[in-house]
Amino acid sequence: MTTYVWVEDENRKFNILSLASPDQDFADESKERLERLIVGLRENTSFEISASDATTIVTSIEEWLLGQNRDDDNRPRPKLKSDDPEDDRKTIPLHLDELLLQRGVTDTIFFDLIMEGPPIQVLPGLESVLTIYTSYRADPGDPEKNARNNPNQGGAGQGNQGSEGATGGEAAAPKNEGQGVKINVNTASRAVLRCLFTEAQIPDSVIEGILRYRNEEAPEEEGEEGEEDVAEYGGDVEEGLEPPKQVFTSLDDLESVPEFANIADPKVKEKFISMLTVESDVFSIHMACLFKRNEERKMFVMTRRKCVVIRLEGDENPRLFPIMRLERRRGVRVFAVDFPEEEEERRELLSSDMDEFSIEERKWNPFYVDFYVKEEVRK
């Protein structure tokens, strides 16, 4: 039995809660962005999603979030701290799988698809580009209990809605924490970055330049440090060391991308930057347990699990807290690459530095596309 683990940051994805933003202009823009994302996700493939189907899906999601066109007054509903006492129609989804209940969302659209080649092709699903987990606020606890434990802090025990505390102090305005719905420019897929603005505003060449920048090798001093770290824990297995990639350490680094620096409209550049971040604080941990029944015929038994955690800064060290506890998953999730057309060549170069055991294990890792390549295609 072998367990494979893949940690994926949620901040690389588009947060659908943006459609329910109290800022109506931002909510309308988010709706347009989500439509562009769904259309662009599988564009020019046999499974492409039409603009009309994308509109149907986005409208269904919007109505679901805002509580429109539904009659659930008599349906039992648990009370949540995220409830808005001034608008009890809004619905905060507790799981991304709830998208499968919306019009137009099928398993084929929601999960990743593998298209047999050659070359083999990964078609990302909604699960790989959408999230609900990056917009959060820490639970302030029970106001009365907080007031008893901290009698000198006045309104310290305020709830999420900013109501007056038990001690009569003035309530602080609600404050979102972490990176929020901003998208990590270091990890976001091409489709997610592309959907933020139209091609007329942000040309394709800018998105291409950003992806190329973060796939360049890191400066030598950073690369040497990274190789030492890997070597220390690598043991006797030659896994094939890829040089560390260059990253955007701050959003100012975007000016190092010539295509971005040459954008004529400063307002577009400023707005684009305002939607991005270079950090992540919410992560999905994917696990696959696989038992090889017949290695030659590639017969196996596999089960997948997933949990979502958030990293919060503590007094001494950051701590991880579960948002979604470990649960069984179905469907396909595959580690995506920025330049799939170059992946075969990159994989061959990597394999030249790997030992036979590591090459074979990579073929059995269900989070790599190698797992889905038939042996006769390899040969």
| Helix residue spans in the chain (DSSP H) | 24-41, 51-66, 107-110, 143-149, 190-195, 204-214, 220-234, 258-261, 266-274, 343-351, 356-363, 375-378
Q: What is the mean pLDDT of residues 360-377?
A: 80
Q: Average pLDDT in the 60-83 region?
A: 73
Question: Which residue(s) pair with 177 in the sheet?
Answer: 136
pLDDT score of 143 more than 90 = no
At residue 266, the pLDDT reads 92
More confident residue, 346 or 171: 346
Structure tokens that stand for 213 in this block: 């920048």
Extents of the domains making up the chain: 135-159+172-180
Ramachandran angles phi, psi of 70, nearest 5°: -145, 155
pLDDT higher than threshold 50 for residue 301? yes
Cis preceding linkage at 119, omega within 30:
yes
Q: 145 or 225: whose pLDDT is higher?
A: 145
Q: Has residue 158 got a pLDDT over 50?
A: no
pLDDT tens track for 30-41 = 999 999 999 999
- pLDDT number for residue 22: 87
Classify residue 47 by its DSSP letter.
Answer: T
In the three-class reduction of DSSP (H, G, I as helix; E, B as strand; rest coil), residue 292 is classed as strand
Rounded to an integer, the average pLDDT of 221-231 is: 48
pLDDT tens across 239-286, in order? 556 678 899 999 999 999 999 999 989 999 999 999 999 999 999 999
What pLDDT is stored for residue 185 in this prediction? 97
Q: So what's the pLDDT on residue 83?
A: 74
The alpha carbon dihedral of 9, 11, 12, 15 has a sign of positive
Q: For 322-346, what is the mean pLDDT?
A: 87
350 vs 241, residue with greater confidence: 350
Annotate 156-172 with b (16+ C-beta within 10 A) or e (fewer). bbbbeeeeebebeeeee
pLDDT at residue 176, rounded to an integer: 56
**Bond prior to 151 in cis (omega within 30° of 0):** no
